[in-house]
Chains A and B, each alone.
Chain A
């Protein structure tokens, strides 16, 4: 059986950054397994610009951002297999995969990094009545067809959902000559980045209807049109608000789901909010030596943060293989608890004995908050209280924890991250920023 120190599942932005980091941290035997015919993952179809502002201080397109990492993987002589589907990983980290050259094969790893990314929520999850005609695509499928295969899915388009891929595709289809009539969003706020609303919808006069959804799809062989209606506070269509839009295409941009079938089957403990693994400060799951990063862990808005997380996961996996990892039992496992407006945190636990001097905790809020505070409590004591003018579910938030500060609280069990609407707590505050 083939043996590798670290096997990375997925060759997208997370897998690439993790592999590079593992290699640079002294691990020679690194293998990337990728199911597509090329490295780069979803970046290959994201031909628009705006990637890498944080990492490279310039605006790259998706393929250009990917290439910066792919060329490093090649320079560092990191092994990778394309067109290779991982079927199973067992708890002893034996990876079972298959492809056309090798057939079904096993690779024994000392550490595994899960970097499978996510997939799109499909029509079946939405309960929209109507037939199942041609012309209904997830936004990402349409993106692949237009940008990589050179096909146009349709001429008259309605978009359900305001996720970033849907917004990007509204512009892309418009530039390719389609008429994008409207984007409808069930929630009273958009799920996408502000920049995309302005540059993909407003620039082209495409209306965004918030608190609206598709209640009927007309057409049996091919989509002929859809009926939109406004929804009330509970998401129920309001009678009398129905509007019919004729169209031949309906794009769905209604959320992304981390692809964790392999993780679940091997016994990785999952967070029901993110649908991704629960990880500690080292991006390690409940199974020792199994790490997770990127969209398989939690869905990101910006690839820069995926690269950062993945680099940390790669470094920690390298430390695990080199047995530099702090022994079990050293330090305390402190739980990170999301509360009051904070839906989840990544990581879920932190151990000061293993963490770097600074740890970035990422989270999402469950609603739009204006003029609020992000607060962090060590036990009952508030230690971070940071004013935020606005926070929205569509934009990932972060807060930094300092190792030195955690070490000042030797009996600390819980760190709580929450949104506070106004000044009610009079305790002493310090701001790490």
Chain B
């Protein structure tokens, strides 16, 4: 049996959670003081995901970089692959919030979109 320790992020309590996993299945969550801790722990050990935010270079814009995000959350282990893939990306101004900057980033099936408008210089 595998045991994982987490800190719950649902409220300032920050309950120390212990998750017991057997054959890939969560068998028990303990340490939580409410239901939300249980839900968080199960998701976090079986399928942890995050929204990733970063910036990419802008050519001929009023700003030199534009902020971007993954349109949805992506698997946690893909975070660095996602950021690496964004490193070499350059976009041409103007850019509008919501514009797709990279399609299917790091084979996650999720697009990276701009989170800011950048006008042309």
Selected contact of A67 from candidates B12, B83, B116, CB within 8 Å: B116
Q: Would you call A199 and B64 a contact (CB within 8 A)?
A: no
Q: Return A349 CB to nearest CB of chain B, in Å.
A: 28
Q: Would you call B115 and A64 a contact (CB within 8 A)?
A: yes
Residues of A within 8 A of B65 (CB): 147-150
In which size bucket is the chain A interface? 20 to 34
B4 CB within 8 Å of chain A = no
B11 CB within 8 Å of chain A = yes
Contact digits for B60-74, partner A, Cβ 8 Å, 1 yes 0 no: 000111010100000
Q: Which of chain A's residues has its CB closest to B115's CB?
A: A61
Q: Would you call B7 and A63 a contact (CB within 8 A)?
A: no
Q: Would you call A199 and B115 a contact (CB within 8 A)?
A: no
A1 CB within 8 Å of chain B = no
| Chain A contacts with B in 153-206, Cβ cutoff 8 A | 175-176, 193-195, 197-199, 202-203
Complex: A210 Cα to B51 Cα, angstroms = 28
Q: Return B12 CB to nearest CB of chain A, in Å.
A: 5
Interface hit among A6-14, A241-249, A385-393: A385-393
- Considering only CB atoms and an 8 Å cut-off, how many residues of chain B contact the other chain? 29
Q: Return B74 CB to nearest CB of chain A, in Å.
A: 12
B30 CB within 8 Å of chain A = no
Q: Would you call A63 and B55 a contact (CB within 8 A)?
A: no
Contact digits for B90-118, partner A, Cβ 8 Å, 1 yes 0 no: 00000001000000000000000001110
B9 CB within 8 Å of chain A = yes
Give 3 closest A-B pairs by Cβ, nearest first: A47-B67, A63-B116, A150-B65
* Interface residues in chain A, defined as those with a beta carbon under 8 Å from any beta carbon in chain B: 44, 47-49, 59, 61, 63-64, 67, 146-150, 175-176, 193-195, 197-199, 202-203, 389-392, 394-395
15 CB < 8 A contacts A-B: A47-B67, A49-B51, A63-B67, A64-B115, A149-B65, A150-B57, A175-B79, A175-B80, A194-B7, A194-B12, A194-B14, A197-B7, A198-B14, A199-B50, A389-B13
